[in-house]
Structure 1
Amino acid sequence: MIKFKRNRLSLLISLSPSLVLAGVALPGMAQSVDGSAAEAVEEIVVMASPIRDSQKAAIDAKRDADNNVDVISADTIGRFPDQNLADSLGRVPGLAIERDQGQARYINFRGAPFRYTSLAIDGLSIPGAENGRVPRFDSFPSVITSRIDANKAIMPNMPGEAVSGYINISTFDPFAQSGWAVSTDVGLGNQQLGDGDIEKLALRTSWSGDNFGFSLFTSENSREQTTDNREYGIERDANGELLVNELDFRSYKVTREDRAHGGRFEFRGDGAVERVFVSTLYNEFQDFEERNQFVFDFAGGADAVGAPQVSGEVGENQFALVGRALEYGLYENSTFTNTLGADFALGEWLLESRINFTETENIMYLPMPRSEGGFVMASFDVSDLYDPAVSDLVDFATQTPVGINDIQYSARGRLGMQIGSEMSIDATKFKLDAERDLMLFGLDATVKTGVEMDSREADGYGMVLAMGEFPAEINIADYATDKAWDSNFSNGITGATYYDNKALRKAWADVAGGLNLTPNDSQAIRLEEDVTAGYVMVTTRYDWGNLVLGARAENTDYLSEGPTGNFEDSFTHVLPSAHLNVDLAEDVKLRMSVSTGVSRPTYSEWRGDDMVDFIQSTVTAGNPELDAEESLGADLALEWYAGDASLLSAGLFTRNIDNVIYAQSDYIPGDAYLPDVGADGWVYTQYINGSNGKMRGAEFNAIAQAADFLPALDGFGISANLTLLDSEFETRDGSRHSLPGTSDSIFNASVFYEMEGFSIRLNHQYRDDWLSTTENVGMTDYWAEQQRVDLSVSYDLPTPVLGADVTLYANANNLTDEQDVRYTGDESMPNQVENFGRRYLAGFRVNF
């Protein structure tokens, strides 16, 4: 990668020899000008053997691709019990899921931070809904797509910011089926913990004639669930004995809804104008959350009376300060993208032009009545750290037993707390691509070139916390119900019941004349970014395969506004790449590639001022002078097409990454920062650049149909992949850490059987521990290993019903009732454990 910044030239010439094999065969197609799959295999149309048909199409497409790309078809998605696209992508070799309250949300592409993945809709990259860079996959339901392309070896016609991967979501093509077509998917289910309802509805219709076609689709999903959560403040004393400083019990009643609507209107001509279309897609995710929370501060209770704090796993009659929080809030994100496109045949050239307008929003608002200053005697038992207990509550003042809902809190401890953040991004993109075939040095070749202009404006504010006095005329105790907490834990808090948080919030809003959160100037984020890119690439075909050579240049201009001034900068990256595809034999292919990339800071990191939280005495410093992260890497893949619908592959990859962005936190005295405020001290967090980042790994994939090896077992098959990963980077003080998101190993396996319309698939997903974030002191917070076992069963009715093909299906998720755990340092020190139970869904699909 060659980088120009402020007229200073630097040539990155260090490339660690690396081999990348990401040999994965999933439904895919040959690449078009914009890097998305060609339309020849737009959807997998299944008959008697849907799993086998999908895998065969995948293997055929993989063999023809010019780069290392995994493609998931609509039918493959439909045959898994997936809630959203993150679930689906988590089955691809090298891709791992990060969940929120049990639901897939983010993708760690080859163990990389979320920001290293670029997301596109129909070949046009869009801003990440979170901080401009981070794709959120929980808002994209699986049923709206015709396929997903997961590109691992990045070509010049793909965004340079795809350091670890480039994911392209293709919506439905109205010309995939001539005439009228209607399909629907209806499902009902149950979330076991809390007995929550699950509803699923999808409808798509399309029509196409000789020259004109359109498609329309809508999707609505709703999931009610309970998440039972335990959080901890524990440490070890000088003798290695456990100190239980704080136990935090939470029960979340959650309703998560996602919806998507869109369509395409398209004209296809026979002359110079080959295609003109307009497409639109709106998708939205909303998380309505009720939190019931009790915090027992044993360290604070002992300190309040000057008593020594007991050590050990069990403590009886210990002093404890108690806090309570009762929240009803909302998390939501949305993407609204609209594209006008036209394709032209001008002599020997094929031109594709696109104009796109995209709006994203990411909003969090959590109004939370808090009660502080409760004082009790209580016993705790953490002999099972994953199932703590608090019992035997005694009111400190009266020395009488007290129920959890009858604790008396300090009059000064009635607080109305509001937490929020918000960011909206408006993006305008123009893209023009051209390609033609020609003879180059006596060889068949294809030249592709293009330009792209992407302009974005971000506006919003970072995390804001406002605290005031809760209205005295509202008696919170009146909102307690007699409904006990839903829980999979054996222990907990004796007598804990839910509050009517919705009614409590309404009463608060009525008394206060409405609730609102007003950020101060230091919390605002206002940023403008313009990226202008151009590329050229040449594919030369030989008897033994092909060679793709090219480069992409991206110029970035940005302006970061702050209350004390603005900061602007401009820099250019030149990103070369090379891809060699060799047919070693009729059924064996070798792929080698070298590629470069760039990851720009998120908008929160790039903002032009410090965000000051006067309540908690914390400062989060934006840094508009951050350098973009730069990567240089290589891939090697070996693929054996072992049968008509079977594939074995193995490979290696590496990425060297410079300027790794991380957050460093320090404690500074109050007189060193804003001394007029009078704070004792501040926790000061600043985004800075580290160095010497590395990602490397090996991927192994097997897709095997028994019919290709043992015809007597026709109908049986397996699909399994294993990824081994390693990553690290160096901070400014010389310490080394893994990149957030890197598990040492990721494993997926499916066993399936299908025959005469019936199919059953049992799937297992596993990933081991990984660093959850770099935004904490010491970077010691980890997710513990996670696994999921899911089952999907379907049956295609043998005869049409009123002229329609009907499929009945049933899905079961998290069959082994797993819980998710986070810890600090090592697994003996958990800081969060949460349960959510099993999930069941049954329904039918109808296709006319």
Structure 2
Amino acid sequence: MASLSTLAFTAGMASANEAPAPAPTDDVTDVVVYAPLRDSQLAALREQRNADNLVSVIASDTVGRFPDQNSAAALSRLPAVAVQRDQGQERYIQVRGAPNRWTSVSFDGVPVIGVDEGGAGRAFRFDAVPAVILQSLAVNKSLTPDLPAEAVVAQIDLRTYSPMNRKGYDVQGELGLGQMELGEGEQRQGSLRGAWSNGTFGVMAAVSHYRREQITDNREFAYDTNHVLSSFDARNYRLVRENNGASLGLEWRPAEGHELFLKWVSSEFNDDEERNHYTFQLGSALSGTRTATGGDLVGVPVRSTAEFGEYRTKNELTTLGGQHALNDGWGLSWRLNSTKMTNDTYLPLLMQNQQLNPLLRPSISYKLDDPNFPIISLYKTVTGATAGTYARGAATTGFDQSAFDFNIALPIVSNIKADSWTAKADLTRDTGNWVYKLGYQHDHREIEGNTMGQPTVILTALLPRIGQSDLKASDYVTGEAWSTGFPLGISLNYLDNRKMRNDMETRLNALAAAGLYNPAANIDPTSRYDITEKLTAGYGMAKVVFDGGQVVFGARVETMNQRIAGFTKSGTVITPLVVENDYTDLFPSINAKFDLSDKIVLRGAIQRGIARPSFGAIRTGASINDTSSPGTISGGNPYLKPEYTWGTDVSFEYYIAKDSVASAGFFYRKVDNVLYDSKTKITTDAYDANGLDRTGYDFTSTLNGDNGKLYGLEFNYQQTFSTLPSPFDGLGVSGNLALLDGEFDTPARKGVPFPGTSKTIVNTSVSYEKYGVSARLSYQWRDDWADTLGGLGLGSGGDEYRKAYGNLDLTLRYAVNKNITVFADASNLTDETYIAYEGDVSHPSEVEQIGRRVLVGLRFNY
């Protein structure tokens, strides 16, 4: 599809995903970060037309004119790219509505794998990569043999800045300060990049920082088998989220046609999260009635969960490489890479229940006039007229946040580490109309970690044995009311979660010293995994150029050796288990491009691809989580098969003018062995322990389904109205529309929707650039999509969907002079509420909102 910004593609057979951007030449526009957006789009269209495969790209020039803080937000501007958010912040991307595991990622042409929060996924965390450290981002929608086959719908390349882009000194930076609407937390960002080059040697260093203090409003819901509300959570999160990035680069061109480079990239995402959380367990009331519209209940148990947790994601990549033009049209390109990725989670939870004394439980009446926001009224619970019964007493003005009699401390820990090493070499031969390429790649990956599950339960009743008092959340209730825009009918106050955590750690240390607590037991052995992957690939391809077009064809052979080590548990017996998988596959592909006229390009592609199961899905154990409502149990399956796909792409591109394009495309993917997460209900006591009844918990595991198909249409339009009379010649519009559909079969269900597939995705913007002003109003919208599939026993009624939403953003830039630009960004102007639901919108499972945000500042370049 047509690109939206600039990316320099290597000539000949050098793939778009592997070469550093070349130095500018006299006949190429030098597009820099503060050049007009129109120049960036013009250069992009020129490179789009010359690409060997179907590719969409966006560069730092364009990213800087959107309020995009991380690479996920930047990529979402491209055709058929949707974003998945966590508490309003962009985290993952989905290309063409496909599951995110169908998209692979590389840095500067070197493939990388993701380590996901909680240890369950292989998905790459784009929120850990600040957009400002990147020179460009490319979405390869069709594959050539020199690209990894582990990309069913797209391969994304994140490119760092090259110091050889410009001779002399180049210093650019940005400072910004703003505010979050909900809670009035601070938002700030800054970046600095310096580079120098004399055409032979270049050096570059860059740093970036982004931080915001955020309040998240949240409601979560659970239903009984009759789809009547059985519990709901009132949650309020106080977050401090931070992205930091750094990049170093050295490039040397010792002779004509020879280049050596060394690049180092480090990026991290830090999230400090305070959770204030109360679960009203309506279905466990002592008596009363519940209906679809409300209820009157006596003695409703309430559970409190408080935490001050830490989430840490870090990526570090070091790449040494070179490109060499040899004699007689021969060329050599090579890469050596080391990548280290970590994802650590530390959640010291304090969970309190009204379990022993029924008189502590409030009686509740509630209304569901708006199913997203139950409105409750509270009453005291008193003894009834006869022994052993209870009744509703007098009304109370608020919930007693000290009324708990059973406390559990849960230090939940997840640590995932992935080390990988890659060696890659490509040999090319250019004979004029024919270009040949042979390549070899070897990836060695070692992944060690655990899924996030239930730790050893620490009963605070043990504390008096070492002279310590019990931990009680009531001791940490403050006088500060929740900052919230969600109605509830009662008010709640924040806890001092930071002090609570410090006191918990002090007591846990004392328990450990007394031999009553073993920190090593916090991670259940059945949630651990140790996986080694050795992937070896060889490939050959050729490009033939003829009057009016070209064809690129070839094949890739990949051999995977996978060793999965973990533990199984039967009763109290824990047994180590090792499973090895070995398989070899052939992945042919062909990409054709035809110039039907000087303005019309027709493209077509056929390819075979693969998607491998996530790390948590192929582990050899099951993990338990008692802190969600309902609780969850997840299990692994080391014998899962990879997904295989055959696909085709066709696109038609009409270049209206040198800076304008209209295009349309179609794609189709046939998938075998579709992976899907199945959710069923626990109906036995097999998982009961520590006095906790786990019947009714959700059991989730990954299974192989039958065949599936995903297909869609993509439309893109980009127009600058430079021929209009002044001042209207500064106007521009761009937009893209994706119409998607797909389904797969399981042994129990037919026509199951792919999780993550919105049937409609829209990105559009209106811009104005003239007189030093650059303004852009942009809108993104995606239709409802399935998020989690119901299990075999629940059928489609148990499927969880995400409701459609849109995001409206405004960016304003004014160039004071050629070196200084001031800016203002306003994001989420529609104050979007993100909603998930089970079956239909009258049964919400999650409702969340973070509010609008504004950032102002200046950018400079010298």
Residues 512 and 41 (structure 1), Cα distance of their counterparts in 2 relative to 1, 3 Å cut: same
Deviation by residue 1:788-821 (Cα, 9 ceiling, x = unmatched): 00000000113x5xxxx01100000011111100
SS at match of 2:147: coil
2:454 to 445, 452, 465: 465
SS at match of 2:503: helix
Query: Do structure 1's residue 504 and structure 2's residue 485 form an aligned pair?
Result: no
1:215 to 173, 196, 204: 204
Structure 2: which amino acid aligns with 1:649? S
SS at match of 1:160: coil
Residues 156 and 668 (structure 1), Cα distance of their counterparts in 2 relative to 1, 3 Å cut: same
Counterpart contact for 1:26–1:62, Cα < 8 Å: no
> Which residue of the partner structure matches residue 765 of structure 2?
750
Residues 732 and 73 (structure 1), Cα distance of their counterparts in 2 relative to 1, 3 Å cut: same
> Which residue of the partner structure matches residue 400 of structure 2?
406
Structure 1: which amino acid aligns with 2:546? Y
Counterpart contact for 1:44–1:54, Cα < 8 Å: no
Inter-partner Cα distance in structure 2 for 1:311 and 1:318: 15
Structure 1: which amino acid aligns with 2:816? L
How far the C-alpha of 1:736 sits from its partner, in A, is 2.7
Residues 408 and 661 (structure 1), Cα distance of their counterparts in 2 relative to 1, 3 Å cut: same
Listed as ranges, the matches of 1:64-463 within 5 Å are 64-130=50-116, 131=120, 133-234=122-223, 237=226, 243-270=228-255, 274-301=258-285, 304=286, 307-316=287-296, 318-347=298-327, 348-373=329-354, 374-396=360-382, 399-402=393-396, 404=398, 406-407=400-401, 409-411=403-405, 413-439=406-432, 444-463=433-452
RMSD: 2.6
Residue segments in structure 2 that go unaligned for 5+ positions in a row: 355-359, 384-391, 464-468, 513-518, 568-575
> Which residue of the partner structure matches residue 719 of structure 1?
734
SS at match of 1:157: coil
How far the C-alpha of 1:29 sits from its partner, in A, is 2.9
Counterpart contact for 1:189–1:839, Cα < 8 Å: yes
Residues 535 and 775 (structure 1), Cα distance of their counterparts in 2 relative to 1, 3 Å cut: farther
Counterpart contact for 2:203–2:250, Cα < 8 Å: yes
Residues 678 and 218 (structure 1), Cα distance of their counterparts in 2 relative to 1, 3 Å cut: closer
1:561 to 558, 565, 571: 565
Residue segments in structure 1 that go unaligned for 5+ positions in a row: 1-21
1:795 to 790, 814, 838: 814
Structure 1: which amino acid aligns with 2:505? A
How many residues in Structure 1 have an aligned counterpart in Structure 2? 807
> Which residue of the partner structure matches residue 466 of structure 2?
none
SS at match of 2:644: strand
How far the C-alpha of 1:33 sits from its partner, in A, is 2.4
SS at match of 1:606: coil
Structure 2: which amino acid aligns with 1:266? E
How far the C-alpha of 1:39 sits from its partner, in A, is 2.6
Residues 296 and 612 (structure 1), Cα distance of their counterparts in 2 relative to 1, 3 Å cut: closer
Inter-partner Cα distance in structure 1 for 2:681 and 2:235: 29
How far the C-alpha of 1:624 sits from its partner, in A, is 1.7
Counterpart contact for 1:422–1:460, Cα < 8 Å: yes
How far the C-alpha of 1:312 sits from its partner, in A, is 4.2
> Which residue of the partner structure matches residue 15 of structure 1?
none
TM-score, normalised with respect to structure 2: 0.89
Counterpart contact for 1:249–1:295, Cα < 8 Å: yes
Query: Do structure 1's residue 28 and structure 2's residue 24 form an aligned pair?
Result: no
Residues 285 and 40 (structure 1), Cα distance of their counterparts in 2 relative to 1, 3 Å cut: same
How far the C-alpha of 1:614 sits from its partner, in A, is 9.2
Deviation by residue 1:42-93 (Cα, 9 ceiling, x = unmatched): 7962599712111101111111111110110110000001121111111111
Inter-partner Cα distance in structure 1 for 2:213 and 2:851: 12
| Greater Cα offset, 256-265 or 205-214 | 205-214
How far the C-alpha of 1:396 sits from its partner, in A, is 4.1
> Which residue of the partner structure matches residue 14 of structure 1?
none
Deviation by residue 1:316-341 (Cα, 9 ceiling, x = unmatched): 56541111111110122111111111
Residues 425 and 500 (structure 1), Cα distance of their counterparts in 2 relative to 1, 3 Å cut: same
Inter-partner Cα distance in structure 2 for 1:677 and 1:233: 22
Query: Do structure 1's residue 826 and structure 2's residue 840 form an aligned pair?
Result: yes
Residues 468 and 578 (structure 1), Cα distance of their counterparts in 2 relative to 1, 3 Å cut: same
How far the C-alpha of 1:656 sits from its partner, in A, is 0.3
Query: Do structure 1's residue 593 and structure 2's residue 586 form an aligned pair?
Result: no
Listed as ranges, the matches of 1:700-719 within 5 Å are 700-708=715-723, 713-719=728-734
Inter-partner Cα distance in structure 2 for 1:712 and 1:261: 41
Residues 771 and 817 (structure 1), Cα distance of their counterparts in 2 relative to 1, 3 Å cut: same
Deviation by residue 1:99-158 (Cα, 9 ceiling, x = unmatched): 111111110111111111111100001111225620111111111111001110111111
Inter-partner Cα distance in structure 2 for 1:67 and 1:602: 28
Higher RCO structure (Cα 8 Å, ≥6 apart): 1
Residues 680 and 487 (structure 1), Cα distance of their counterparts in 2 relative to 1, 3 Å cut: closer
SS at match of 2:290: coil
How far the C-alpha of 1:476 sits from its partner, in A, is 2.8
Taking every aligned residue pair, what percent have the same amino acid on both sides? 34
How far the C-alpha of 1:676 sits from its partner, in A, is 14
| Greater Cα offset, 670-679 or 197-206 | 670-679
Inter-partner Cα distance in structure 2 for 1:683 and 1:189: 41
Counterpart contact for 1:52–1:645, Cα < 8 Å: yes
Structure 2: which amino acid aligns with 1:90? S
Inter-partner Cα distance in structure 2 for 1:710 and 1:433: 51
| Greater Cα offset, 49-58 or 535-544 | 49-58
| Greater Cα offset, 622-631 or 189-198 | 622-631
Counterpart contact for 2:402–2:473, Cα < 8 Å: no
How far the C-alpha of 1:173 sits from its partner, in A, is 0.3
Inter-partner Cα distance in structure 2 for 1:396 and 1:209: 84
> Which residue of the partner structure matches residue 7 of structure 1?
none
Residues 535 and 334 (structure 1), Cα distance of their counterparts in 2 relative to 1, 3 Å cut: same
Inter-partner Cα distance in structure 1 for 2:349 and 2:687: 29
> Which residue of the partner structure matches residue 534 of structure 2?
530
TM-score, normalised with respect to structure 1: 0.91
Inter-partner Cα distance in structure 1 for 2:834 and 2:128: 22
> Which residue of the partner structure matches residue 475 of structure 2?
478
